[in-house]
Amino acid sequence: MTKKTNIKKNKKAEEKNQERKPGKTSKSTTGKNIKNTKFNNSYIDSLEEKIISQEHIDIHDFESIGAGQSTQKGVHKTNSSVANAGRKKLSKGKGDEDKAKKRKTRSREFAIVSYIFVGLFIMMIGYFVYFNLFLAVDVINSPYNTRQTLFEDRIIRGEIQARNGEVLARTDIYDDGTETRIYPYGSIFAHVVGYASHGRKGIESLENYSLLASNTFILNRMGNAFAEKKNQGDTVVTTLDVKLQEVAYSALAGYSGAVVVIDASTGKILVNISLPDFNPNTIDAEWEAINSNTEDATLLNRVYQGQYPPGSIFKMLTLLAYMRENSNYEEYTYECTGSITVGEGEEAVTVSCFGETVHGVQNLEQSLANSCNTSFCNIGLLIDNDAFATLAKEFFFNVELPVQLSSSISQFTLNSKSSEGESIMTAIGQGNTLVSPMQMAMITASIANGGILMKPYLIDRIESADGNLVTSYTPTILNTLMTTVEAEVLSRYMTSVVEYGTAAALSGNGYTVAGKTGSAEATEGTHSWFVGFSNVDNPDIIVSIVAENAGNSSGVAVPIAKQIFDAYYR
């Protein structure tokens, strides 16, 4: 019998044997039916136990095993007490119970190994399910995935609609079977709706999967498959508002720049204008011309990817930084003498107020309302640069915006090593700071909403071509960016900007507005900015407007805002 040769009769082995803890019962065996199959042989178990304990085995053991019992009779033990310490004894009385426990003891490690591996498998299946349920749709939308074109063989690309059902994009089929993508509104929705030839951009890219999926009535689909006809893709209903978009489009006409309008309480994006633009209906013909014109960057959706110095609209954040460091901010006072200089000699930096105006004594509210540069330079010197940098990160600097369409990464470079000159320039929104219109809209939106930022979104719902709801999207909270007190204070100050400050043209039109103007100096010229929201007590819409090289903001950005607000409340 081969097993006998394994028995080494020496003390070391016996002691080692003691270290084993076979006495524990495993509670994990109940789930595994394997041991309970009729093939499990408990008789052999007891024999093995003896072998392990180096008990001497003789023929009597086999007899007793054969009889279905185990007994200590006829077994010659060596160091029996030592060997048996801590282990269950085989005795008639508790025979069955012991056998069961021994079975579990013996299989305990196997059970653990089984559970480890089964556990790994189940986790893997779980991840697989999770991937298919939640991650897949975004992953397969990547332009690297060519499989979606496979769907085009069987599905007619679905429609894209504005919030009230106006068709922004549709596919027409001609008698000879050719398909053309038609954009009824031409270039008005060019960037946001996007295009699907020459790669994919905008909503055409974002919702490519939905547009090429068909959820029409199943019998219709099967009938079509049988007749080898294509099925109609689903309809993507966006949050865009045709009326406002058209107003904003003609208001910005003549300039390059961007306009974005967001619904304050939900985060729905109502307007997305980016100029210069193109006509998606003729994009094939114009493709070469568009791409060779590198100066205009026509294909760029400036709302998300425009990078501009913010100028005075940045003062909202400077103010917030100051408030967070000084709880007595209401007592702030500064005497504006028209200009301020820091540094010495060649490194001296001088900043003046707009038009060299001398504002005199200002508190914080007046500083913002009048957009007093020198006061804000002073504030800039009072703020801790590192704290400012941390705040900037919270307000989406140096990260990609958490929105559906891809955005550029805004820039904020101030840190503890920066010079005073950079501090004051940053405080007034110049220096190295760069922002995108969407980012500024999001910051303004959180001020309007008591500190809570609703996630801006473009897609309201997906419907099948025959009108049934497939998926519906609801507003979600992205984050709380500031306290309600901070939001309220900023909101109040920004109301003053409109009441008696630089955006006074927006007051007295039948609705209240809070906002901030900006003239941002860039190398090419001065950009005209306005960010703000209407109906201050219960904000309706947020606007973020930038007109490139348009000079003083009161000239261009503010009137655009007025047209949009007027149209909204008409």
Partner 1 sequence: MINIIVELSKYLMIILTILYTLQCFTVFRHDSKKDLSFGFVRQNVLMFLNHFVAYVVLILQSGNKELVIFYGAQFIFLMATIILFGFIYPKASRLVTNNMCMLLSIGFIMLTRLSYTKALKQFKIVVISMIIALFVPVIIRKMKFLEKLGYVYAIVGLGLLLIVAGFANIQGGALLSLTILGISFQFSEFVKIIFVFGIACFLKNATTFLDIVKVTILAAAHVLTLVLSTDLGGGLIYFVAFLIMLYVSTRQPLYLLGGLLAGSGASVIAYHVFSHIKIRVASWIDPLAVYQNGGLQLSQSLFAIGTGSWFGLGLYQGAPNEIPVAEEDFIFSAIAEEMGGIYGICVILICMSVFIMFINIAMQIKNRFYKLVALGLGTIYGFQVFLTIGGAIKFIPSTGVTLPLISYGGSSIVSTLIMFSIIQGLYILREDEEENLEKQK
The residues binding partner 1 (CB under 8 A) are 2-3, 6, 8, 12-13, 16, 20, 22, 33-41, 43-44, 48, 62, 65-66, 107-110, 113-114, 117-118, 120-121, 123-125, 127-129, 131-132, 135-137, 139-140, 142, 144-148, 150, 154, 222, 225-226, 228
In the bound complex, what is the minimum distance in angstroms from residue 307's beta carbon to partner 1?
A: 21
β-pair type (235-238, 160-161): parallel
| Least distance between partner 1 and beta carbon 77 (Å) | 19
For the chain, helix, strand, coil in percent to 5 are: 45, 15, 40
CB of 106 to partner 1, least distance (A): 8
Residue closer to partner 1 by CB (options 163, 221) is 221
- Residue 349's DSSP bridge partners are 342
> Dihedral (C-alpha) 439, 441, 447, 448: value to the nearest 10 degrees?
-160
Sign of CA dihedral 374, 376, 382, 388: negative
CB of 140 to partner 1, least distance (A): 4
Q: How many other CB atoms are found less than 10 A from the CB of residue 71? A: 17
Q: Which amino acid is at 119?
A: G
Identity of the residue, 141 or 341, whose beta carbon is nearer to partner 1 in the bound complex: 141
Minimum distance of partner 1 from residue 189's CB (angstroms): 28
The secondary structure of 119-151 as a DSSP string is HHHHHHHHHHHHIIIIIHHHHHTSTT-TTHHHH
- Minimum Å gap between C-beta 168 and partner 1 is 26
Please identify, using beta-carbon distances, which residue of 51 and 182 lies nearer to partner 1. Answer: 51
Contacts with 458 (C-beta within 8 Å, 6 or more apart), sequence order: 192, 203, 206, 238, 239, 240, 269, 272, 404, 405
Pick the closer one to partner 1 by CB: 13 or 361.
13
Q: Which is nearer to partner 1, 8 or 92 (CB)?
A: 8
CB of 232 to partner 1, least distance (A): 17
CB of 397 to partner 1, least distance (A): 21
Gap between the Cα atoms of 485 and 451, Å rounded: 8
Residue 161 DSSP SS3: strand
Min dist. Cβ of residue 456 to partner 1 (A): 23
Q: Residue 136 or 173: which CB sits closer to partner 1? A: 136
Q: Nearest 5°: phi and psi at 232?
A: -85, 130
Name the residue nearer to partner 1 (CB basis): 104 or 268. Answer: 104
Q: What's phi and psi for 436, nearest 5 deg?
A: -115, 155
Nearer to partner 1 among residue 228 and residue 346 (C-beta)? 228
Nearer to partner 1, 62 or 217 (CB): 62
- The alpha helices in 395-524, defined as continuous H runs, are 420-427, 437-448, 484-499
Rounded CA gap, 152 and 155, in Å? 5
Phi/psi-derived region of residue 77, left when phi > 0, alpha when psi is between -120 and 50, beta in every other case: beta
